[in-house]
Amino acid sequence: MAVKDVNTMKIVSKIWRNGAFIDWDDARVHVMTHAIHYGSSVFEGIRAYKAEGGTAIFRLTEHIQRLLNSAKVYRMDVKYNRAELSQAAVELVRDGGLDECYLRPVIFRGLNEEKPAFGVNPFPNPIDCYIAAWDWGKYLGEEALEAGVDVCVSSWTRTPANSLPAVAKAGANYMNSQLIKMEAILGGFSEGIALDDRGYVSEGSGENIFLVNNGKLITPPLGASILPGITRDSVIAIAKELGIEVVETSIQRAALYLADELFFTGTAAEITPIRSVDRITVGAGKRGEVTKQLQDVFFDVIYGRRPAPNNAAWLTYVNESEEQKTATATANE
Ligand code: PMP
């Protein structure tokens, strides 16, 4: 495997497909693929970091488990189990030639060219699994991690969980995210925050959201049509370790304007401060103290400079030494 330069992007030249590595150029689908017409795909976004002790994938097991959960909700019969998909991800990063990268597993309803089926009924179509990887810098911009981003509240409502379940990371959910994102960009904002169908704060188009009030962390509950974010979970665990109280509760739109601090969490966005909402300055209009404290610990954990809360095995080293293997096995017990 090697790295391919495509314009300004560095992309791993191989893609894992249904159990084998193929060339980037061969990873193509037919235009009559079910997923293209009916949105029948589920996917993940995972990061690998150049940690102390070598490149490590952050919370791989949890991401692959969420992928399989998403597939289960949509009755997709995946031929690979969590260990096999995790192993494929490890090999892609280990041999891909990038020290740090973003991994994109995707599972979708494909096309059986011998026995085509073009209707909505997904069952006749094969299930295809792919994993690609590339070097993806800071999602909301390099300076955003310190300066923060300007966001708006979207006029689009987050899809209710009884229409498209938020626990599943399905491609179709991202049509809603795209409406939110496009509206934000065209309005001169970096990102949009959606309210749920009851009018309470839900999440960004690709991030969970946290408020800081009087030193407490407040975040919408899973019932607010949010993706159960793995970064969200990591931040909650880190906050608890630091003795910061975390409250999961319904949040009114206006509470965003009045928060002391506000930040997004996500694999792509990591922990990104929000400095204004609807052009109303949040707190001091820059990264707040609690946000910085959480960011510092988060980056220490993902770069292997500090153990994860409760010594959890959050890092999967792609070139595991014998000592690391033992440490991971012990932590997993
Ligand atoms: N919500 C949405 C809609 C997302 O797309 C993402 C990114 N996967 C998140 C939240 C954050 O989830 P995670 O921390 O697991 O990346």
* Model confidence pLDDT, tens digit, residues 61-107: 999 999 999 999 999 999 999 999 999 999 999 999 999 999 999 99
* CA-based end-to-end distance of the chain: 34
- What is the CATH classification number for the domain harbouring 192? 3.20.10.10
* Listed residues 134, 158, 173: the one ending a domain: 134
Residues 150 and 295 reside in one and the same domain: yes
Output the residue whose Cα is nearest ligand 1's atom 12: 229
- Give residue 102's pLDDT: 97
Total domains, the chain: 2
How far is the C-alpha of 245 from the C-alpha of 279, rounded, in Å?
28
- List strand residue ranges (DSSP E) for 205-282, in order: 208-213, 216-219, 246-248, 261-266, 270-277, 280-281
- Best residue for ligand 1 mutational test, from 202, 207, 233 (most atoms within 8 Å of Cβ): 207
CA 113 / ligand 1 centre spacing (Å): 34
The domain of 210 spans 144-302
Closest-CA residue to 48 (of 113, 102, 12, 104): 102
| pLDDT digits 0-9 by tens, 165-213 | 999 999 999 999 999 999 999 999 999 999 999 999 999 999 999 999 9
| pLDDT digits 0-9 by tens, 146-167 | 999 999 999 999 999 999 999 9
- Give residue 325's pLDDT: 63
Atom of ligand 1 nearest to the CA of 66: 15
Residues 255 and 161 reside in one and the same domain: yes
> Distances in Å between the alpha carbon of 259 and those of 216, 262, 281?
11, 7, 10
- What is the CATH classification number for the domain harbouring 120? 3.30.470.10
Query: Is position 54 within any domain?
Result: yes
Q: At residue 174, what is the residue type? A: Y
- Give residue 332's pLDDT: 56
Residues with CB under 6 A from ligand 1: 45, 177, 203, 206-208, 227, 229-232, 265-267
3-state secondary structure of 316: strand
The pTM assigned to this predicted structure is 0.95
CA 208 / ligand 1 centre spacing (Å): 6
pLDDT of 276 over the 60 cut: yes
CA 329 / ligand 1 centre spacing (Å): 28
Phi, psi of 12, deg, nearest 5: -70, 130
Catalytic residues, by residue number, are 169
Parallel, antiparallel or unpaired: strands 127-134 and 3-6: unpaired
Residues 205 and 282 reside in one and the same domain: yes
Query: Is position 314 within any domain?
Result: no
Contact 209, 228 (CB under 8 A): no
Q: What is the mean pLDDT of residues 23-40?
A: 97
Residues 124 and 216 reside in one and the same domain: no
pLDDT of 330 over the 70 cut: no
